[in-house]
Structure 1
Amino acid sequence: MKMIKAVIRPELLYEVMEALEKEGFTGITVIDVVGRGREGGLQVGEKRWPEVAKVLLMVAVEDDKVQQVVSLISRHAHTGMVGDGKIFVCPLEEVWTIRTKSREVRL
């Protein structure tokens, strides 16, 4: 299993979520975050913002679904401008359900 973490523009959140849900990826966690990339923030004219508002999506998937989810997020979060975001793929060792106190064998 893998945990896919995508930092995207907030205005594209619902487009990305709809695309994921349409393909059957309904388990999505969304967190409002702020941060900056290599550019060190955003500058428009004389005004500078050292941190920029983004959204962090987290989706746990089976290994064979990673490329599909990365492609969906990439396609629907892309504007071609600086600040489109990043996608991180991390190993996911275990998943536990709090209500049942049981270990998930599949997602």
Structure 2
Amino acid sequence: MILVRAIIRPERTGIVLSELLSAGFPAVTKMDVYGRGKQKGIVIGDIQYDEIPKEMLLIVVNDEDKDDVVKIIMRNARTGEKGNFGDGRIFISEVMDAYTISTAKQGL
């Protein structure tokens, strides 16, 4: 199993979630997060903004679905034709195991 962790612009969350659902990936955890990327925040005049609002999506999928999920997120989270700074990042991690609490069932 694979954990896909995507940090994206809040205004792109709806379309990303809709496309994931349409492609058969309904199980997503969404969290409001704040931070900065390689651009070190945003400077407007004399003010520096270090805590830029983003959304983090957590999706656990079978190994063979990883590339499809990443492509869906990339295609729908990107702003503009070639993308822009601040569009976000995707991190991939292995999941050792998963359990459904209500049924004690192992796996996805």
Flag the structure with higher strand content: 1
Alpha-carbon offset, residue 43 of structure 1:
1.7
Equivalent residue for 2:106?
103
Deviation string 1:36-58 (CA, Å, 9 cap, x unpaired) is: 11111112233320110000001
Unpaired stretches in structure 1, ≥5 consecutive residues: none
Matched residue, 2:6: 6
Deviates more, 1:19-28 or 1:43-52: 43-52
For 1:42 and 1:81, locate their aligned partners in 2 and report how far apart those are by CA, in whole Å.
Answer: 13
- Once the two structures are superposed, residues 36-81 of structure 1 have per-residue CA deviations (whole angstroms, 9 ceiling, x without a partner) of 1111111223332011000000111111111110000000000111
TM-score normalized with structure 1 length? 0.93
Whichever residue aligns with residue 34 of structure 1, its letter is Y
User: What is the 5 A alignment of 1:1-107?
Assistant: 1-79=1-79, 80-104=83-107, 107=108
1:81, 1:45 → 2: CA distance?
A: 21
Structure 2: gaps (5+ residues): none
Q: How many residues align?
A: 105
Q: Supply the RMSD in Å over aligned alpha carbons.
A: 1.0
* Letter aligned with residue 72 of structure 1: I
After the TM superposition, which segments of 4 or more aligned residues of structure 1 sit over 6 Å from their partners? none
- Determine helix, strand or coil for the equivalent of 1:73: helix
